[in-house]
Amino acid sequence: MKAFKRGLAALVSAAALLSATAAMAQEVKVDPKLAEMVPQDIRDRGYIVGAASLAVPPLLYADDDANTPKGAVAEISAAYAARLGLELRIEKVTGGGAIPGVVAGRYDIVASAGDFKSRRDVLDFVDLVKGGTALLVKAGNPTGVQGFEDLCGRKLALAKGSIQEGEAADLSDKCVAGGKAAIELMPFPDSSAGILAMQAGRADVFWDDLAPASWRLKQSSEFEIAGKPQDLAPYGVGIPKEKTQLRDAIQASLQSLIDDGTYGQILAKWGMEAIAEPEALINGSEF
Q: Give the domain ranges of the chain.
A: 8-130+233-275, 132-232
What digits encode the pLDDT tens for the residues 257-282?
999 999 999 999 998 998 999 999 99
Please list the alpha-helical segments (H only) found in 12-88.
22-25, 32-35, 40-45, 72-83
How open is the CA angle 68-234-287, to the nearest 5 degrees? 145
Which pLDDT score, from 0 to 100, does residue 144 have? 97
pTM of the model: 0.84
Decide whether 8-130+233-275 matches 132-232 in CATH topology. Answer: yes
In CATH terms, the fold of domain 8-130+233-275 is D-Maltodextrin-Binding Protein; domain 2 (3.40.190)
In CATH terms, the fold of domain 132-232 is D-Maltodextrin-Binding Protein; domain 2 (3.40.190)
Which pLDDT score, from 0 to 100, does residue 26 have? 66
Confidence of residue 68 (pLDDT cuts 50, 70, 90): confident
pLDDT above 50 (res 14): no
What digits encode the pLDDT tens for the residues 187-235?
999 999 999 999 999 999 999 999 999 999 989 999 999 999 998 899 9
Going 263 to 265 to 266 to 272, the CA torsion angle's sign is: positive
**Pairwise CA distance, residues 212 & 108, whole Å:** 25
- CA 192 centroid distance within chain: 14
